[in-house]
Amino acid sequence: MSPSKRSQPKRIVVTGGAGFIGSNVVDHLAAGGHTVFAVDDMSRGREANLSRAVDSAGVHLEKLDVRAREFRSFVRTVAPDVVVHLAAQIDVRRAVQAPIDDADQNILGTLSVFEAARGADTQTVLIASSGGTIYGEPRKLPVGEDARSRPTTPYGISKRVLHDYASFYGAAYGLRTVLLALGNVYGPRQDPYGEAGVVAIFFGRMLRGETPVIYGDGSQVRDYVYVADVAEAFARAMDSDVAGGVNIATGKGTSVLELFKVCARTVRYKGRPSFEPARLGELQASVLDVGLAARTLGWKPKTGLAQGLKRTAAFLSE
């Protein structure tokens, strides 16, 4: 189903709109006929990610920090029907090193978004939460939304606490919030030079002829979901009347060693990985139960790992 067939045109602010997932969400929503305003402080975002959307779909890019008063005034002026909040500091290791900065960006940044929505009488806020970190080390797999939540890093704690703030804003001010707890997202525009995003980092190194590094023994299992499927989940959450946390992933686990092999096959890389000690706070396994998304949003991941990796490699080779 194309988004244009099911959705009345809306005014939408997408924070973090020049980033990896944000720009894919902007493209998807603009293609559905919505009026989209991307907000990004450009700390990691790139204008190139949005150039097509700005040139051909009339998307407006506003360079602002979501914590700033100017951001809240901007949202009041735009008066959006929906805010999609993706702006965040996304580096789990940096959060371990600098928890105050992480909380400032990810908790206070989101409170500023909630306050902006309240000030603009916006009905709905969609938030990128993190299925890979909010639950902590799971007792059983796949992890459902009602699993015990014991995040092991400041990043996971920040994302977890947003679920409680969202409930508060729902109860106190009638704001509908959906927190999409994403698995490990990969796909075009992910930064291959960054600290996060193992797929982009593996491909980046393989395509440059460098040796990819595996932290730990490579048996850690993650749930890799393709970014276009994630963008579709945001569109569906927007058009639904669902509220609360919903896992968005595939329900399938892939070890880092397996991932290395499929990536290497995709770009015909013949080398071997090097191994370094496991990182602090890293989980052994994370696979998410995506039954709630299927039941409430009619959403299922469409893109298999091999297919998604092929598309990602094609993008990175261009």
Q: Which residues are catalytic?
A: 155
Work out how close the CB of 22 gets to ligand NAD at its nearest, in angstroms, rounded to a whole number. Answer: 6
Q: What is the residue type of 253?
A: G
The span from the CA of 216 to the CA of 160, in Å, is 26
User: Which residue matches tokens 């919030």?
Assistant: 177
Binding site for ligand NAD (CB under 6 A): 15-16, 18-22, 40-45, 65-67, 86-90, 105, 109, 128, 130, 182, 184-185, 197
Enclosing H/E stretch for 12: strand 11-15
In the complex with ligand NAD, the residue whose CB is nearer, 33 or 99, is 99
In the complex with ligand NAD, the residue whose CB is nearer, 187 or 273, is 187
Q: The tokens of 156 are what?
A: 């996971």
In the complex with ligand NAD, the residue whose CB is nearer, 178 or 185, is 185
Work out how close the CB of 238 gets to ligand NAD at its nearest, in angstroms, rounded to a whole number. Answer: 16
Work out how close the CB of 247 gets to ligand NAD at its nearest, in angstroms, rounded to a whole number. Answer: 11
Q: What is the CA radius of gyration of the chain?
A: 19
The span from the CA of 160 to the CA of 24, in Å, is 24
Work out how close the CB of 146 gets to ligand NAD at its nearest, in angstroms, rounded to a whole number. Answer: 19
The span from the CA of 100 to the CA of 113, in Å, is 19
Which residue sits closest to ligand NAD, CB atoms considered? 19
Work out how close the CB of 136 gets to ligand NAD at its nearest, in angstroms, rounded to a whole number. Answer: 15
Number of helices (H) and strands (E) in the chain: give both, helices first. 13, 13
CA geometry: angle at 15 spanning 162 and 229, to 5°?
A: 85
In the complex with ligand NAD, the residue whose CB is nearer, 195 or 274, is 195
Contact call for residues 229 and 303 (beta carbons, < 8 A): yes
In the complex with ligand NAD, the residue whose CB is nearer, 33 or 244, is 244
Contact call for residues 153 and 274 (beta carbons, < 8 A): no
The span from the CA of 261 to the CA of 309, in Å, is 11
What is the helix, strand, coil percentage profile of the chain, to 5? 45, 20, 40
Burial 296-307 (b: 16+ CB within 10 A, else e): bbebebebebee
β-pairing verdict for 254-255 and 221-222: antiparallel
Work out how close the CB of 57 gets to ligand NAD at its nearest, in angstroms, rounded to a whole number. Answer: 18
In the complex with ligand NAD, the residue whose CB is nearer, 19 or 80, is 19
